Amino acid sequence: MAPRPTILVVEDEPEIRRFLRAAFGVEGYRTVESASGRRGSIDAGTHKPDLAIVDLALPDIDGVEVIRRIREWSSMPIIVLSARVQEHAKIEALDAGANDYVTKPFGIGELLARVRAALRQAVRPATGTLRLTFGDTVVDLDQRTARRGGEDVHLTPVEFRLLAALAKNAGLVVTHKQLLTEVWGPTHERDTHYLRVYMKQLREKLESDPIRPRHLLTETGVGYRLMLDD
């Protein structure tokens, strides 16, 4: 295993920083804390963390602005902490380059799962054979083949492209806009109904119980998430 990953926490509430520091310590992560957005943008440059956690409601500059500043020079994974009433800010943050979000109040288990998925995604090589396994399904994105329970499953080219777009960020949320732009092109970034139709087809072909999917998950109002087997 690589040296201890460093996590930057940009959060103005000291009590929240306190329990994050404790929980990350238990997991073997090193924590760098910034109490403001400006400080956080600078700390991201000087400490070069492996991942950043950014609260959306910061006292000085907007969390979304912090994400934009980091994205100018870095592709480090960013997880956003948002309150329930910030639905729009959350989507804005994801479209600005954040990789995932957790809604306050959250259990630490949920956040740690996101952190693990984001760190794993960051070290995965960008090229090479992309073989996805989840449940009893195996998809080879290079060969364009899919098998479920030993049987060949026919996926259409669009279904493959959609699956590939989700797989690129496996374990993390991908917004409607990101998926639509990637699969259908920027002129279709608002055609959410395309996604509804194709996600339904993918679930029917690849999930054992499409109404209780375990891998092709809906993030209501935000996007979709592909959960692979660990």
Q: Which residues bind other proteins (CB under 8 A)?
A: 84-85, 87-88, 105, 107, 144, 154-158, 176, 191-194, 196-200, 210-213, 217-221
CB of 63 to other proteins, least distance (A): 20
148/222 Cα distance (integer angstroms): 28
Q: How many Cβ atoms are within 10 Å of 26's Cβ, its own excluded?
A: 10
Taking the least distance from each CB to other proteins, the nearer of 69 and 90 is 90
Taking the least distance from each CB to other proteins, the nearer of 64 and 66 is 64
CB of 184 to other proteins, least distance (A): 9
User: 226 in helix, strand or coil?
Assistant: strand
Taking the least distance from each CB to other proteins, the nearer of 49 and 213 is 213
CB of 82 to other proteins, least distance (A): 13
Exposed e or buried b per residue across 39-60, where buried means at least 16 C-beta atoms within 10 angstroms of its C-beta: bbbebbeeeebbbbbbbbbbee
Taking the least distance from each CB to other proteins, the nearer of 27 and 191 is 191
C-alpha 90: how far from its chain's center? 12
Taking the least distance from each CB to other proteins, the nearer of 84 and 150 is 84
CB of 216 to other proteins, least distance (A): 9
98/174 Cα distance (integer angstroms): 10
E strands, the chain, where? Answer: 6-10, 30-34, 51-55, 78-82, 100-103, 131-134, 137-140, 145-148, 151-153, 173-175, 216-219, 223-226
Helix-then-strand count for the chain, H and E: 8, 12
Taking the least distance from each CB to other proteins, the nearer of 128 and 185 is 185
User: 10 in helix, strand or coil?
Assistant: strand
Nearest to 56 by CA among 81, 78, 79: 81
Taking the least distance from each CB to other proteins, the nearer of 59 and 221 is 221
CB of 15 to other proteins, least distance (A): 13
CB of 221 to other proteins, least distance (A): 4
User: 36 in helix, strand or coil?
Assistant: coil
CB of 152 to other proteins, least distance (A): 11
